């Protein structure tokens, strides 16, 4: 058979088609879950924490992934997210080496699978066509444990691996660590306090809800003479001034090796969020807790300044004020550069939003070491409490800001030897009436060589408005974080209990991606022009007032029966009015110039980025193609000469 050019071409086309289908079929089988993760935080890479959790499963776990694949055909985003979750679960199954069984269920409408999904707690999201999309996960173990993710929200995609691994982790551990809470914050009632709870309208703080999911939370009230022996960590969060008996119980808990997480605040915003209809704080609320456990702080070798908060200009949160968005230096947004990157608790955190923070200082002669976890930049100022009570003016605080150049510690570990704050033993003060008698108090311990305490000079870390955007789905609240406030609290408690498996997962990312360069430009411009803008505004107001005064005099004298106004105003006054009008025009122009300068650099940066995207990148691609084409032509061999020499 003679191979002509047309035969060779037909064979090549046929082989290409066969090869195309072969490659696609092979890649679908072998590479369906392959990914190249180019995200900054490695959001699409299975972390070591997940591998450790899956490889240490003590007994088989079954995961049922309910996904309405046929119904979701019309919704490309949901379908793509469902494919990603399915691939991730298949990856989990392969890593678990037989200890994890995956079942993928498509609960079509009016089927037994749909009834099963609903009965196991998976939420069906209604579609415009009247059907429901089921998109959740149910995990069960060999005993009777069951954990559910009712619906996978795309807004929580950054936390996908953590949510699934946490579900498996809960099914494999024997029991939840127990956390004892001492607090004057209505965690379980939410911002409405007990009044909202009595009306059935309470919404617990989101951090408290997440604590209950991961730990066995037990309230210890605020007066007791001992901490139960089964408490693993005690969390003291903005308490009212505690009695000596209660402080002694906490002291002895630490002496016996107990771990403590403490939040003390010189001025607590969260204690005011549950104000009653008259605008007054809830009865019993405590504005300051900096000195509520002073004897314990002395024994731990630290102090929290009760008279000042720390303003941080280059980390100020943006707030709404008088119809504008301005920097409020009393509320601070810390980023990764402000946190200890070597400590497991804060190593991977990116943003923490706090309000009216205090400063932690080491006392002279302290036997403990103070290890900062979060600290300010040096663009700081100590602000007396009197300036931030009531309704502070953010612009006034920014204009009056005087940079101290000092860094302040906001959160820290306290470790090392500690002597009891009560060397004489249990205080003589008895508990109030109504407290049960539990038998003799355990023997007094005078000191410990290994105290482990984490202290935070703020309580507003728990305020939902600072860190989360709650979403409602079929009556259930789902947290969509914009900062790592909850991550910090959960990481710290988990670290103090000695179970660090989920810390690296929980810290992997939030939905908040700030424009760092733009924010820095805006802050520099505001620092430069805000005072100038205020002076021009004051001058404009004074000029308008003068003009209004002269115009009022003219109108009053131009009523019927009075002389003509030009006869009543002297030439000097007329000239003064003209000067004021001219000055008014000049001042308004100068004010517009200043306001333009506030936006000039940001607008210029935006135009520069637009030029890169619109012109530079396409030109770069075209230039690369041109270079490759020219290079290819140069390498092509010259045709052989057919002429005789």
pLDDT (tens digit per residue) in 456-472: 999 999 999 999 987 77
Radius of gyration, CA atoms only, the chain: 33
Beta bridge partners of 183: 237
Can you tell me the distance from the alpha carbon of 553 to that of 547, in angstroms, rounded to the nearest whole number? 10
Hey, CA dihedral for 219, 225, 228, 231, is it positive or negative?
Answer: positive
The per-residue pLDDT for 631 is 73
Can you tell me the distance from the alpha carbon of 349 to that of 328, in angstroms, rounded to the nearest whole number? 23
Given a cut of 80, whether residue 200 has pLDDT beyond it is no
Residues 6+ apart with CB under 8 A from 540: 584, 587, 588, 591
* C-alpha distances in Å from residue 603, one per residue of 118, 607, 610: 51, 6, 10
Residues 6+ apart with CB under 8 A from 281: 271, 272, 274, 275, 287
Residue closest to 309 by CA, chosen among 389, 396, 412? 389
Given a cut of 90, whether residue 602 has pLDDT beyond it is no
Its pTM stands at 0.68
Task: Please give the residue that has the higher pLDDT: either 302 or 18.
Answer: 302
pLDDT (tens digit per residue) in 346-373: 988 889 999 999 999 999 999 999 999 9
Given a cut of 80, whether residue 169 has pLDDT beyond it is yes
Pairing of strands 308-312, 380-384: antiparallel
Average pLDDT, the chain: 81
The per-residue pLDDT for 306 is 93
The per-residue pLDDT for 597 is 62
Residue closest to 375 by CA, chosen among 393, 363, 361? 361
Which range, 6-15, 29-38, 104-113, 514-523, is most confident? Answer: 104-113
**CB-based contact 347:289 (threshold 8 Å):** no
pLDDT class of 299 with cuts at 50, 70, 90: very high
pLDDT (tens digit per residue) in 3-39: 777 777 777 888 888 888 777 777 665 655 555 655 5
Mean pLDDT of 232-238: 96
How far does Cα 14 stand from its chain's mean position?
Answer: 56
């Amino acid at each position: 058979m003679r191979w002509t050019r047309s035969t060779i071409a037909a064979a090549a086309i046929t082989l290409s088609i066969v090869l195309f289908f072969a490659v696609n079929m092979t890649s679908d089988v072998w590479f369906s879950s392959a990914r190249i993760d180019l995200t900054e935080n490695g959001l699409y890479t299975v972390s070591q924490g997940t591998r450790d959790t899956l490889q240490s499963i003590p007994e088989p776990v079954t995961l049922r992934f309910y996904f309405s694949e046929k119904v979701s055909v019309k919704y490309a985003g949901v379908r793509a997210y469902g494919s990603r979750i399915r691939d991730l679960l298949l990856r989990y199954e392969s890593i678990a080496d037989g200890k994890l069984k995956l079942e993928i269920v498509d609960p079509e409408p009016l089927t037994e699978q749909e009834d099963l999904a609903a009965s196991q707690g998976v939420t069906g999201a209604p579609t415009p066509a009247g059907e429901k999309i089921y998109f959740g996960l149910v995990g069960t173990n060999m005993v009777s444990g069951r954990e559910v993710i009712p619906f996978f929200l795309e807004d929580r995609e950054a936390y996908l691996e953590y949510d699934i691994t946490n579900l498996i982790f809960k099914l494999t551990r024997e029991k939840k660590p127990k956390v004892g809470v001492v607090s004057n914050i209505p965690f379980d009632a939410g911002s409405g306090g007990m009044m909202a709870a009595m009306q059935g309208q309470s919404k617990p703080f989101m951090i408290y809800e997440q604590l209950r999911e991961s730990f066995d939370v037990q309230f210890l009230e605020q007066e007791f003479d001992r901490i139960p022996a089964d408490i693993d960590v005690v969390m003291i969060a903005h308490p009212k001034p505690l009695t000596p008996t209660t402080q002694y119980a906490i002291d002895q808990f630490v002496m016996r090796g107990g771990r403590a997480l403490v939040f003390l605040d010189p001025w607590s915003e969260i204690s005011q969020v549950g104000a009653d209809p008259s605008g007054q704080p809830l009865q019993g609320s405590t504005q300051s807790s900096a000195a509520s456990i002073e004897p314990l702080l002395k024994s731990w070798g630290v102090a929290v300044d009760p008279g000042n908060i720390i303003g941080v200009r280059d980390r100020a949160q943006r707030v709404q004020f008088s119809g504008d968005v301005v920097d409020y230096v009393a509320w601070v947004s810390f980023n990764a550069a402000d946190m200890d990157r070597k400590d497991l608790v804060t190593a991977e955190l990116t943003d923490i939003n706090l309000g009216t923070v205090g400063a932690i200082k080491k006392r002279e002669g302290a036997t403990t070491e103070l290890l900062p976890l979060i600290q300010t930049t040096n663009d700081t100022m100590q602000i007396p409490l009197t300036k931030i009570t009531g309704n502070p003016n953010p612009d006034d605080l920014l204009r009056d800001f005087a940079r101290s150049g000092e860094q302040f510690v906001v959160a820290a570990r306290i470790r090392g030897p500690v002597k009891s704050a009560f060397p004489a033993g249990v205080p003589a003060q008895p508990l109030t009436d109504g407290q049960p008698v539990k038998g003799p108090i355990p023997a007094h311990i005078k000191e410990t060589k290994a105290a482990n305490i984490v202290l935070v000079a703020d309580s507003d870390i728990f305020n939902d408005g600072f860190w989360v955007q709650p979403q409602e789905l079929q009556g259930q609240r789902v947290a969509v974080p914009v900062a790592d406030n909850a991550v910090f609290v959960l990481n710290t408690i988990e670290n103090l209990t000695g179970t660090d498996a989920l810390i690296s997962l929980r810290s992997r990312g939030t939905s908040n991606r700030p424009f760092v360069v733009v924010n820095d430009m805006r802050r520099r411009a505001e620092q430069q022009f805000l005072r100038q803008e205020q002076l021009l505004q004051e001058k404009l107001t004074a000029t308008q007032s003068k003009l209004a005064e002269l115009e009022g005099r003219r109108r009053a004298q131009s009523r019927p029966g009075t002389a003509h106004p030009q006869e009543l105003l002297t030439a000097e006054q007329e000239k003064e009015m003209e000067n004021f009008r001219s000055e008014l025009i000049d001042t308004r122009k100068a004010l517009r110039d200043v306001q333009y300068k506030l936006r000039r650099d940001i607008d210029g940066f935006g135009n520069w980025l637009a030029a890169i995207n619109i012109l530079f990148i396409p030109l770069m691609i075209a230039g690369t193609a041109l270079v490759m084409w020219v290079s290819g032509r140069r390498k092509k061999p010259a045709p052989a000469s057919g002429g005789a020499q």
